[in-house]
Amino acid sequence: MNIPQKLILVLITLFLLLGGGIAIAQQLPQYTQYMYNTSTINPAYVNENNRMDATLSYRAQWIGIDGAPETKALTVSGIINNKIGLGINIYKDNIGPSTEFNSNAVFSYYLNLIKKVKMSLGVNAGIDFFEVDYSKGSYYDQDDVLFSYDNYYNALPAVGAGIYIFNDNWYVGFSIPNVLLNQSNVVSDKNLIHRDNHIYFIGGYVMDISASLKLKPSILVKTIDNAPPTIDASLNVLFLHKFTLGASSRLKDSYSALAGFQISKNFFLGYSYDYNISDLGDYNQGSHEIILKYLMPRWGPNARSPRFF
């Protein structure tokens, strides 16, 4: 495939992604350690060639507030023969009386864009299952017919796409996890769940300070229809290829501290704490997030060196 054809493919992909951006999802789960589990927000991302990785994550948000968001997630992904990326993303998100369960299969295709620069185009497809248990709520008017149902269930398709461009030291990505126009009617025309599109941009750069020290500044920008953009800026430091320390700021929302440890050749453990600086901070004790990543044994030739992203 020559360069002009590749550029055409990139333009077509961006057109499809941007075209989907005008569609109407309830808020997707938020992650502070997205840089260590990027496939949760971009289907075009997978880790190393000839290797699968599996990541478990748990996030408890706004500790001290009843019904605050709680998210559990599992991702499994990898590249086969330096070309094909395969994976699954599963998460369960609880907010108050509502529960969302999402399961997606992921497929990506890798190209050598120019010298030392690669590009991946990814798609995801699955089911988004939503439940509301009205018995868990307290209402001003207990006799309101809108809340007279014990439970509501609904399942909707989810289809998304992403693009990821990188070399050994930097990366940029753009994605929309669900491009479908979904609008779920709960019990009447007056009580709807609107699913607004989430659009993500990510970028990062790894600086080799020495053989045992690396710095990685990164950024995530998330936009949602009818809401201000969310901007996360972070700086992580890797010591001796084992210890990670970092700090992050979410614009007008929170400050975060991050830490990670390469427990063994195959296991990585990460933790983050968010301190809320918005008005909501007066009513909660922050947010906790923990991830456990397992790098499965390699079935092909070793990569030249592991990437810090």
Short-list 77, 29, 45, 82, CA closest to 173: 45
Which residue range forms the structural domain that includes residue 194? 3-295
pTM comes to: 0.82
**Residue 175 within any structural domain of the chain:** yes
**Residue 305 within any structural domain of the chain:** no
**Residue 309 within any structural domain of the chain:** no
Instruction: Output the CA angle 14-216-117, nearest 5 degrees.
Output: 45
Instruction: Output the CA angle 76-81-86, nearest 5 degrees.
Output: 25
According to the model, what pLDDT value does residue 218 have? Answer: 94
**Residue 249 within any structural domain of the chain:** yes
According to the model, what pLDDT value does residue 202 have? Answer: 94
Whole-angstrom CA distances from 101 to 5, 29, 80, 189 are 38, 11, 28, 24
According to the model, what pLDDT value does residue 140 have? Answer: 57
Beta bridge partners of 259: 245, 271
* Domains: count for the chain: 1
**Residue 261 within any structural domain of the chain:** yes
| Six token digits for residue 156 | 């909707």
According to the model, what pLDDT value does residue 302 have? Answer: 56
Neighbour-count burial of 305, counting CB atoms closer than 10 A to its CB (0-12 exposed, 13-18 middle, 19+ buried) = exposed
HEC sequence for 96-155: CCEEEEEEEEEEEEEEEEECCEEEEEEEEEEEEEEEEEHHHCCCCCCCCHHHCCCEEEEE
According to the model, what pLDDT value does residue 71 have? Answer: 94
**Residue 144 within any structural domain of the chain:** yes
**Residue 307 within any structural domain of the chain:** no
**Residue 38 within any structural domain of the chain:** yes
User: Mean pLDDT, 10 residues at a time, over the chain (309 residues)?
Assistant: 45 40 54 88 79 90 86 90 88 88 93 87 92 68 58 83 91 90 51 72 92 92 84 93 93 92 91 90 88 82 55
List the CATH number of the domain containing 128: 2.40.160.40
